[in-house]
Amino acid sequence: MTTTAKEEELFTIVDQGTVTSPKGFEAGGFHAGFKRKRKDLGWIISDVPAVAAGVFTTNSFQAPPLKVTQDSLVDGTLQGVLVNSGNANAFTGKKGLEDAYEMRKQFAKVMNLNESETAVTSTGVIGEYLPMDAIIQGINEIPNYQASTSGKHFAEAIVTTDKITKEVAVTCIIDGKEVTIGGAAKGSGMIKPNMATMLSFVTTDAAVERTALQSALNNITNRTYNMITVDGETSTNDMVLLMANGKAENLPLHEKHPDWLTFIGALEYVSQQLAKMIAKDGEGATKLVEVHVDGADSKEGASAIAKSIVGSNLVKTAIHGADANWGRIVCAIGYSGEKVDEESLSISIGPIKIVDKGITAAFSEEKTKQYLEEDTIHIFIDINKGNEKAVAWGCDLSYDYVRINASYRT
């Protein structure tokens, strides 16, 4: 879903919003020594236990911190989240799982939380054990930083190869109460649709029933985070966590609540913006690519075509070079797995019609090249078959992507 002006009337964007924009949330981050210089340990704490939901990577090698966090989510509440960057604690076997549980135990102890309501996650290099002495020392230093750090510092602490931090918050009215939703995410490389390689943390002071919260997160993830790609890689540590602490004092939200769609619209906007920031910040990327597919006979088909186009390395390199090689778009549609009639297919690059119902349009190569040199590229596909649509986001593929990933560990 691409948010329209009418939908944005349902909520207001918070200037410089963070995960602490909602009532009752604290967050922070600092340099604990896992990375050379940048912040690498961050946390979020709710004043009270929050109803929580999570979505996790589809990679069969789920990292130990994800297993610990899923264990904490069994009862459906969380009060604290601890994140370290620089080391993923992934593919680390029994010791890695023990270390993740110890990380949770120490954080809960220092912050006076229940272990069962505490989540942990890690991001960074795969296959190396956590430096547990540094982890524990860092956890014990958190109280010294609580007064001087903020949601901004949390967003800085969770990044790896990201060039920018990714934050957004909005407010909306539920039951006559102001409800706020805030989020922070990290992700730049190893990004692929189907639980993209990323971490996202979303907080809200809304009161929401547990099953409704999980259902909302599942559906919105499929329309946002699962519709982005950078390089077709899916990591071991991906997750989205959503915490709702009820501090706005609205009546608990559920699918039949009269303001449910208002809440869903605001939550989807936050998730979509974070997803787009990840796609735009792809490793080595210079352009955001947004693919709109219309006229499909199923949502699944529209999504498959959109993701096939943004995931095509040949499309991505053509966009990087501002080359209007639209045949690569046709190829990506053709191998998407969806049946598309050539005679009904229309393609536009930005405002420029390239193919009109199977017939190549007379278009200006020069004007198309000029458009492809812009920072954001829109590709419009019309199948002219049904009424379903989808949007996917990606980026161009540049020489810098190889340079960054050729020396990731060094």
DSSP string computed for 93-126: HHHHHHHHHHHHHHHHHHHT--GGGEEEEEEEES
Tokens representing 271 are 């998730």
Residues 6+ apart with CB under 8 A from 157: 28, 29, 30, 39, 40, 41, 42, 83, 85
Task: Please tell me the distance from the alpha carbon of residue 280 to that of residue 233, in angstroms, as a whole number.
Answer: 16
Contact between residue 106 and residue 68 where contact means Cβ atoms under 8 Å apart: no
Is 180 one of the annotated active-site residues of the chain? Answer: no
Q: Which has the closest alpha carbon to 347: 399, 396, 292?
A: 292
Contact between residue 87 and residue 122 where contact means Cβ atoms under 8 Å apart: yes
Tokens representing 24 are 């009752």
Task: Please tell me the distance from the alpha carbon of residue 291 to that of residue 43, in angstroms, as a whole number.
Answer: 35
> How many Cα atoms occupy the beta-carbon half-sphere of 140 within 13 Å?
6
**Which of 180, 197, 203, 229 does the annotation list as catalytic?**
197
Task: Please tell me the distance from the alpha carbon of residue 75 to that of residue 175, in angstroms, as a whole number.
Answer: 27
| H-state helical runs in 205-294 | 210-223, 260-280
Indicate which residues carry an active-site annotation: 197
